Chain A
Amino acid sequence: RKEVEQDPGPFNVPEGATVAFNCTYSNSASQSFFWYRQDCRKEPKLLMSVYSSGNEDGRFTAQLNRASQYISLLIRDSKLSDSATYLCVVTETNAGKSTFGDGTTLTVKP
């Protein structure tokens, strides 16, 4: 089983759509959780941290369920500029090593 598993995608949606990405992780000792965004041939950039209480940043909402070892990202009112690969990232606090999911590619079309 992969350490971090994401929806395989790709997701192709029209502008304005709501899209949800799911991610599961296998290491129950994992401490910190993030969604990164990666544009083609660029570095991963932090989109948002994910907390057990859930957190929202504008059109983006992230949720963490530690009992189910499940993380989600919801994008509302998607824009063309949201087109990218979204990476679920799980970090072990002690070593700080981050494990990346394979990524889910989103294409938002006019």
Chain B
Amino acid sequence: EPEVTQTPSHQVTQMGQEVILRCVPISNHLYFYWYRQILGQKVEFLVSFYNNEISEKSEIFDDQFSVERPDGSNFTLKIRSTKLEDSAMYFCASRGLFRSGNTEAFFGQGTRLTVV
């Protein structure tokens, strides 16, 4: 069964450092997303990406965040200067073309980011 894969599974970084979280979406999917979940809290939307550009972003997704699809298979989330409050589980998700009854998103296993 096709799946979304994320690397690394756990990243520890020092405050102020840049991190890149990587995702390989399901191959024929066209919509890509990043979500985050702070420990004990709800899953929060960060950004959606379609046709090589951001289609929507949340208030959380400020200037320190960026996304890229550099090579047609990887989808990356970069955090330029990490803060302690960026510590969370980051989930990548992808979705196929919108068709009737076929709009669910598939999630990767997540990258646990710990900023120290």
A→B interface (CB under 8 Å): 31-32, 34, 38, 41-46, 49, 51, 87, 91, 93, 95-103
Using CB atoms, name the residue of chain B closest to A46.
B104
Main secondary structure of the interface of B (DSSP, over half): strand
Of B50, B55, B91, B95, the contact of A44 (CB 8 Å cutoff): B91
B106 / chain A contacts, CB cutoff of 8 Å? 46
B→A interface (CB under 8 Å): 31, 33, 35, 42-45, 48, 50, 55-56, 89, 91, 93, 95, 98, 101, 103-110, 112
B93 / chain A contacts, CB cutoff of 8 Å? 98
| 29 chain-A/chain-B pairs, Cβ below 8 angstroms | A31-B103, A32-B103, A32-B104, A34-B104, A38-B43, A41-B112, A43-B107, A43-B109, A44-B43, A44-B107, A45-B107, A46-B104, A46-B106, A51-B101, A93-B98, A95-B48, A96-B31, A96-B48, A96-B50, A96-B55, A96-B103, A96-B105, A97-B45, A98-B93, A98-B105, A99-B45, A100-B44, A101-B42, A103-B42
Q: Indicate if the CB atoms of B42 and A95 lie closer than 8 Å.
A: no
User: When chains A and B are docked, how far (Å) is the Cα of A97 from the Cα of B60?
Assistant: 14
Using CB atoms, name the residue of chain A closest to B50.
A96
Using CB atoms, name the residue of chain A closest to B102.
A49
User: Which 5 A-B pairs rank lowest in CB-CB distance, beginning with the nearest?
Assistant: A100-B43, A32-B103, A43-B107, A95-B56, A102-B42
